[in-house]
Amino acid sequence: MKDRLGVLISGRGSNLQALIDAIRDGRLDATIALVISNRDDAAGLERARAAGIETLTISHRGWPSRDDHDRAIVRELRARDVGLICLAGYMRLVGPPLLEAYPNAILNIHPSLLPAFPGIDAQRQAIAHGVRVSGVTVHLVTSELDNGPIVLQRVVPVLDDDTAETLAARILVEEHKTYPEAVSIVLAGGWRVEGRRFLRSASAASASPSRLPAGS
């Protein structure tokens, strides 16, 4: 079912926590059916358990191929009727078995304004480049890393005395607001993908506005 989420993590899980909190507070109308980590020491697993959410560790090691690992994940998600996958700090590339099982139904959150600074250490890359603003992007996942249609972005200023750590902390505050909102937009429907663009119908956009009005 569409509003049954599967969240994939590898570590801290603060974005998972943001989704849990948004559901609890009624800002996001969804259910997290399953949290899967590829590492059994991911702190996010404990967050899920504390919220009473089922967890699984499916290590990426020990499979004959990367695709076999993905297929195992698909089996578990399908067994729980998951309709939308949220990557939340999941440090693995998503391969064809997952992409084909969940077309346009996998979301990722990335700590930069894509297409700037894809890949790891996005905040360090932003500082090194000297950009004045960075931010957060939630996008649909495709076969190319950090490159799918963009659902939602938020801008965060980069300050002269920022380090990668201080910028990451400022961006993270926006991540936690942006991810639940983007999931809500995707679950609400009334959107389509045209080329690289994620486009919402006028009625869907006015039902849950996601951007500041022009000129504000």
What is the binding site for ligand GRF (CB under 6 A)?
A: 11-15, 44, 88-89, 109-111, 175
Three-state DSSP at 20 gives: helix
Residue of this chain nearest to ligand GRF (CB atom): 89
Nearer to ligand GRF (CB atom), residue 133 or residue 207: 133
- Strand order of the β-sheet with 133-140 is 55-57, 31-37, 4-9, 84-87, 106-110, 133-140, 150-157
Nearest-angstrom CA–CA distance, 141 and 1: 19
DSSP labels, 63-106: -SSHHHHHHHHHHHHHHTT--EEEESS--S---HHHHHHSTT-E
Q: Are 174 and 154 in contact (CB under 8 A)?
A: yes
- Give me the residue label for tokens 């993270």: 172
Nearest-angstrom CA–CA distance, 193 and 85: 17
Nearer to ligand GRF (CB atom), residue 97 or residue 135: 135
Nearer to ligand GRF (CB atom), residue 109 or residue 113: 109
Nearer to ligand GRF (CB atom), residue 15 or residue 97: 15
Nearer to ligand GRF (CB atom), residue 24 or residue 75: 24
- Per the annotation, the verdict on 110 as an active-site residue is yes
**Among residues 60, 69, 110, 129, which one is catalytic?**
110
Q: Are 168 and 142 in contact (CB under 8 A)?
A: no
CB of 79 to ligand GRF, least distance (A): 25
Nearest-angstrom CA–CA distance, 126 and 82: 35
CB of 100 to ligand GRF, least distance (A): 23
Nearest-angstrom CA–CA distance, 2 and 57: 23
CB of 179 to ligand GRF, least distance (A): 8
CB of 18 to ligand GRF, least distance (A): 8
CB of 206 to ligand GRF, least distance (A): 28
* Active site amino acids: 110
